[in-house]
Chains A and B, each alone.
Chain A
Amino acid sequence: MIEYTEKIREIAKKLLEEGTVDAFIGYKKGSVPMMNEPVLVRDPADVDVLHWDSNCGLNLCNYLTGRTDKVGILATGCNSRNIVTHVIENQADRERLYIVGVPCTGVINHRAVKRAVKGREITEVVEEPGGERFTVKGPGYEETFEKADFLQLNCATCRHRNPVEYDELVAEEVPEQQAVQAFKDVEKIEQMEPQKKWDFFERAISSCIRCYACRNACPLCYCPTCFVDESKPQWVGKSIDPADTMTFHFLRAYHCAGRCTDCGACERACPVGIPVRQFTKKLNKDCIELFDWEAGLSLDSRPPLDVYRKEDPNDFIR
């Protein structure tokens, strides 16, 4: 996807010069391998900082909350769905957005790469044009990998690689992945005995440090005061008591029900590698099964938890 870079700069320059937008949100190449930094460009002279490759992992929709200017923004499939969700939830005004769609072939799982080179130092990761392979360089070694084997877990099962809402695309659409089994991991947990399930989640969060990077990396978590930060009443204790940590994770997942696009920003951001998506994914699956709903696919339909439809499967409300 590295070849998108030129086109992105060109589009951003045009938009800024013509005054279509006041600012443009994209990524710049990071100072650390496999970590690009979200950036805001205001001056058309600065568009050359913009960069695109398979390490643009933090969901840019985060940066739209509360903006009142006209902005251009890059959007992959999942990011575009979060933008749609933002618009539906009145966190962004479609009229003020210029969405530059990025057909996406997935983000590289930096942890898996680190594992594959057995924890050795990585000084550079070079992507081939076309993006099928990338080469990892470090002191005294160089190894080339197939990107398809190193996708972030959410990207590996993604069914919406192409943006669903955009004003312009940087390139032709990419083929959607066929026959992905998106919920195999969730099914495995569903089949567990209750006690095993509990053990699974307890183990999963055992090293959580309650930094809330997962929450803050998530564009859905825009509440001015998160329930974990409230003190009157104090819904959750603030120490690292496992019961409080579990409460945080379960409650956050429910707050994201019917809204989560499985962009993977939460899991990518976690400093200690907690599989946070295991919480939200179950609810994504439920939304598909109960309401035939996937978040952010259209500006014209309301999310399942704020509409009533006669076809809804549960009868308790009828």
Chain B
Amino acid sequence: MSAKIFSKDEWAGVLEGLKDAYEVYVPVKEGDFHNFRPLKEGTRPSFEFQNTRMSPKFLTEPQSERMFEYTLDKNQPDAHILKEDEKEIPPRAVVGIRPCDAFAFQLVKRNFDTPRYKDPYWLKRYEATTFVGLGCNDPCETCFCASAGSGPFDRKGLDVLLYDLGDAYLAQPLTDKGEALLEKTDGGKEADEASWKKAQGLTRQVAGKGSRRVSTDKLREKDVNALYEAPFWEDVAFSCINCGTCTFLCPTCWCFDIQDEVQMLPMVGDRMRNWDSCMFPLFTLHGSGHNPRSSKTERVRQRFMHKLKYYVDKYDDGIQCVGCGRCVQFCPVNIDIREIAEKMNAL
């Protein structure tokens, strides 16, 4: 199937129409910023945004999810037996996801879908999702996607790519899943030559502006111990307050923690999986009370070493960061991964 063009006037209707076949996630303005939310009655999608405040990683890895439930009541026949939470994941489409964030799912997949281990919850959600990207006409100052394996119109991880042509969206299918989605849309026309020209012009224009370059080319060849022992970690970490904002907002941070939440009367419990962060004091805390990363400097070093060295060495295919710039923009003390990457690269 070829590309389609939708006028912005009919766009809301197109999204509505998709609801028959998908659970549709759209950007919604909430106060000062946007977040992805399910399209329900009364939801007002808003595509006037640079990027959402929270990354869309919650689509495959919700901040909290129940994995099992159980009862501790000995009078019950199923006492102490973990019962898996039923998860019905209908087909879903996320519309308006930025290329960097879509690419992030490909990085994260490496962690949840390995030859040895397959995370059923993550994979089920991932497979059920169709990613409809929206190219960036106006990348943020804090982005550096082009230095992080992605780009304003990058297609990796996307099923459809939308070009915002001002009064219309040009929708280009990139995979079978994307074609299937476009086939289910009402309205729209086949994209004409003029629209294509416009889209290509846009891509060239944005590429011409150039996003900030961050050097990461030497990270692979560096000695891991030399980087680990680098003299700058204490200075880099000084201002960090270990708040975890960077990792919670990050589309590529995948760490989670498993916790039991038990209540009395009746004695029942849930086994939860929650986002974790290497910035937190409980991260890698052993049962003995020992924590190999007990100080702030060790935690900060873990974050950057993981993203810019351990990951790089393990997969030999770039850094564990897509350059979305969220951590740069929202770190309350202005710790800037772009500057740390330069430091590590130059060591």
Contact = CB atoms under 8 A, between A and B. Distances in A.
Contacts of B33: 272-273
B346 interface: no
A76 to B, nearest CB: 16
Given A123-B141, A229-B281, A238 B261 contact: yes
B330 A271 contact: yes
Nearest to A25: B238
Nearest to A37: B334
A307 interface: no
B54 interface: yes
Most A-side CB within 10 Å, residue of B30, B138, B282, B334: B334
A156 B331 CA distance: 24
Contacts of A114: 32
Interface of B: 30-33, 35, 48, 50, 53-54, 63-64, 138, 140-142, 235, 238-239, 241-245, 248-249, 257, 259, 261, 272, 274, 277, 280-282, 328-336, 338-339
A216 interface: yes
B281 A271 contact: no
Contacts of B30: 207
B241 A40 contact: no
Contact of A217 (B31, B274, B282, B332): B332
A58 B333 CA distance: 7
A303 B101 CA distance: 48
Tier of interface size on chain A: 35 or more
B328 A32 contact: yes
B61 to A, nearest CB: 13
Nearest to B209: A139
A213 B280 CA distance: 11
A45 to B, nearest CB: 15
A259 B280 CA distance: 24
Contacts of A32: 141-142, 328-329, 334, 336
Nearest to B48: A119
Nearest to B138: A121
Most B-side CB within 10 Å, residue of A31, A36, A239: A239
A271 B245 CA distance: 7
Contacts of B138: 121
Interface of A: 30-32, 35-40, 57-58, 62-63, 111, 114-115, 119, 121-123, 207, 209-213, 215-217, 225, 229, 231, 234, 237-241, 265, 268-269, 271-273
Contacts of A240: 63-64, 274
B258 to A, nearest CB: 10
A63 B63 contact: no
Given A229-B280, A237-B261, 6 more contacts: A114-B32, A209-B54, A211-B243, A212-B244, A271-B249, A271-B332
Nearest to B259: A238
B203 to A, nearest CB: 18
A210 to B, nearest CB: 8
A216 B259 CA distance: 22
Given A268-B332, A271-B249, A62 B241 contact: yes
Contacts of B142: 32
Contact of A216 (B141, B243, B330): B243
B58 to A, nearest CB: 10
A31 B32 contact: no
A37 B261 CA distance: 38
A207 B277 CA distance: 19
A63 B238 CA distance: 8
Given A229-B282, A269-B241, A38 B141 contact: no
A239 B245 contact: no
B63 A213 contact: no
